[in-house]
Amino acid sequence: MTLLRRLDQALDGLAADAALYGLAAAFALVTALTSTLPSHRAWGAWAVWAYLAAFSVVVIQLVLRRPRWRMGLTWATWCGAVLLPLIVQAVQRAAGHAGRAQEEVLVVEHMGERLARTGTPYLGPDAIAALPADERLLGYAPYQPGMAVFGLPRAAFGDAWFTDARIWFAVATVATLVAAGWLLAGRGRPAPASLVRAMQFATVLPVCALTLATGGDDLPVLTLTLLALACCATGRYGAAGLAVGAAAALKLFALPVVVVLAVCAIVTGNGRRFLPGALGLPVLALLPAFLVDADAFVENVIRFPLGHGLVTSPAQSPFPGYLISQAVPGGRYVALALLVAVALAIAVRLVRRPPRTAATAALFCGYGLLAAILLMPTTRFGYLLYPLALLVWAPALAEALSRSTGTAAPRSDPALYRL
């Protein structure tokens, strides 16, 4: 932990900045040259120049020993590595170019169209079965009903670059991150180094940048959970409940965060402020779709992710859970058993030593989601953006708490630089 902190703070944080931008440039270059997905190659071709420019700026800062405008450089790099390639691909897609968006963008837009037309964003099993075999995968929408909101602009205004779901993913991402940063930095204060690093891991880290520019549905979910943690760190538990409730209304992936923050709110006496929004928003988002066609919801959100749909999810990354499910007899059940065992261990820990601060809650969420991603039989590499961002936000949350209470964060606090 001490070594990580020293590396992070070396040369006022500029050494780690240079490593981040340099490695990100290399990742973007490799992606541009070798990816089999056209949208990924297009992102890499644009992003490599943004990362190289940021790396050059950091090198100049190192030479001059002036670590200024680190947060400004983060957002400028985000504009070059995410916003610009996103808009370019959205414009090209609207003009008829193929391969300028990942499948999840199409799925979310179809959700919005179905919601506007039928009152539910989901197709039932019979409707999916009636599709041609090669179109059934896109017939599934394994998200909570709230995700359909990002597809409504397409349903209302037709095919245009500004109705691309990624544009609205980006708007939601920026709005929530700016709000979280404002809360953690404090009014009129410059951003502390821990918050700069936290923002980097939610914006310009390649796994986040590539995801938002080409697909993007995970970023609003992630940043809403980060905003909820920031609200908890500054004592705004009612707002935290609304933020994490909105995240859970978009994707089930946010439910573990809801559970951890609910425990934190209850043990600190803030349950009445937190729980209405955290539980109410997902229920309100679910209720209309469930009333229209409950079986369609279950087929899309429950059966399909668990591998019991009409088609198999293509989410496959060489993590332990997937490798066990493929290489061991009955491996899928072995991987699920390990996942349940880890979940039970975390639950016991949560009950016996519940988190009392937002920083500790972020660690619970980060390590728990990391274990789940590694052990799930079907998962994606991109899901790592959740635990990485949550774990790196913990020091910023701890620092915000120490400022609000007027005390220094204890050196033994497990929220500090623990990755």
Q: How far apart are CA 245 and CA 329, in angstroms?
A: 39
pLDDT for the residue 209: 95
Looking at residue 409, the DSSP 8-state letter turns out to be: P
Q: How far apart are CA 48 and CA 32, in angstroms?
A: 8
Q: In terms of DSSP H, where are the helices of 293-357?
A: 294-297, 320-327, 331-352
pLDDT for the residue 70: 86
Residue that the structure tokens 């923002």 belong to:
199
pLDDT for the residue 98: 87
Q: How far apart are CA 419 and CA 409, in angstroms?
A: 18
Q: Give the closest residue to 297 by CA, choosing from 109, 106, 152, 148.
A: 148
Length of the chain equals 419
What does the block give as tokens for 205? 């880290």
* Cα radius of gyration rounded to whole Å, the chain: 21
Q: Give the closest residue to 170 by CA, choosing from 200, 201, 208, 199.
A: 208
Sign of CA dihedral 148, 152, 158, 162: negative
Q: Give the closest residue to 299 by CA, choosing from 281, 311, 291, 287.
A: 311
Full DSSP string of 146-163: GGGGGGHHHHHH-S-GGG
Residue that the structure tokens 């929408």 belong to:
141
Which residues in the chain land under pLDDT 50? 408-419
- E strand or H helix at 378: none
Percent of the chain as helix, strand, coil, to the nearest 5: 75, 0, 25
Q: What is the pLDDT of residues 102-133, one digit of tens each?
A: 999 999 999 999 999 999 999 988 888 888 88
Q: Give the closest residue to 51 by CA, choosing from 88, 79, 9.
A: 79
pLDDT for the residue 418: 41
**What is the maximum alpha-carbon separation in the chain?**
66
pLDDT for the residue 417: 40
pLDDT for the residue 330: 75
pLDDT for the residue 354: 93
Q: Give the closest residue to 372 by CA, choosing from 253, 278, 262.
A: 253
Q: How far apart are CA 177 and CA 219, in angstroms?
A: 10
Full DSSP string of 41-104: HHHHHHHHHHHHHHHHHHHHHHHHT----HHHHHHHHHIIIIIHHHHHHHHHHHTT-SSSS-HH
